[in-house]
Amino acid sequence: MNKYDVIVIGGGPSGYTSAIYLGRAALSVLVLAGAQPGGQLVFTSEVENFPGFTKGIMGPDLMMAMEAQAKRFGVEVLYKEVSKVDLLKETKSVWVDETEYQANAIIVSTGATSKMIGIGEEAYVGRGVSTCAVCDAAFFKGKKTFVVGGGDAAMEDTMALLKFADEVTIVHRRDEFRASKIMQDRVLSNSKVKVMWNSEVVGVSGESKLSSIKVKDIKTGKISEQQLDGLFVAIGHVPTTKMFEGILELDEKGYLRTTMTALMRDVKWRVSEKDMWLDGFPTMTSVDGVFGCGDVVDYRYRQAITAAGMGCQAALDAEKYLTEHK
């Protein structure tokens, strides 16, 4: 029987960080990292805001280093996708195809994926296309950039770019933004910002990197070609939680709900006077012994360092849970 103390589902910064802590605690750990481990950082070029790397580090290199560190403490890593789970029993089961793996605790760190336009821009990710201005804005100092979207995420990306880029143009399908009024005011009051209303990006082109996009006016049907240095897609994220639907409680956006995130909104969820989250397990989900961390939980910050921090929290909670339930 393939039995472990903890199984970590997902191989991004949160998953590998939790594995490092659990392995160092002398627990048996299996990381099911997926067919393409490393999370969204594998699509990022240079990471300059992760502490400890004065000259920055390439996203894939950072993830390879995290994985190697986890393996140093005896963690097993399989580059396999999970096909189904049974988490409601005391002993949890996770399947990869027909092979069953069991554990006394599960950490879900499956992350989230950025919504893409679907016009081939995926081929230019890291080469002129980005889904995180907070991460990549500094690389576009003095450049001409475009942002696609009209919600708070698009406004936040625009504000981040305004610190570096010479020009930021927002392309939005409607004639008004969906973002909060305060965010709109901050963006629209800046003279460096231009807006292409009732428009959508319908094409991308470039050789070694993105050099131009085609923008269609939805009302007139006219298509114009725009030269640019960077395109930031800010139309939302999709948490990887489909396999947990009906098993673990999700919030209205589909993100995994934990005691900590629930308490930020609803103090009555999974909390009693005898079991406050400070004394319990802040990262536990609606099922005992199942914990959540990283972008599958966090729809606000979505940074490698915050994901890693949550991975640490989930690992410490899981270790405490196993100690108390021996």
Q: Which residues are catalytic?
A: 132, 135-136
Question: What is the spatial distance between Cα 137 and Cα 125, in angstroms, rounded to a whole number?
Answer: 14
Which residues, 6 or more positions from 263, have their beta carbon under 8 angstroms from its beta carbon? 269, 271, 277, 282
Q: SS3 for 67? A: helix
- Report which of 134, 128, 131 is spatially closest to residue 156, judged by C-alpha positions: 134
Copy the structure tokens of residue 166.
């010479």
- Report which of 171, 198, 153, 160 is spatially closest to residue 302, judged by C-alpha positions: 153
For 5, left (φ over 0), alpha (ψ -120 to 50), or beta? alpha
Q: Is the dihedral of CA 60, 295, 300, 306 positive or negative?
A: negative
DSSP string, 165-229: -SEEEEE-SSSS--S-HHHHHHHHT-TTEEEETTEEEEEEEESSSEEEEEEEETTT--EEEEE-S
Question: What is the spatial distance between Cα 66 and Cα 307, in angstroms, rounded to a whole number?
Answer: 13
φ/ψ of 60, rounded to 5, equals -60, -35
Contact call for residues 121 and 215 (beta carbons, < 8 A): no
Tell me whether residue 89 is exposed, middle or buried, using C-beta atoms within 10 angstroms of its C-beta: 0 to 12, 13 to 18, 19 or more: exposed
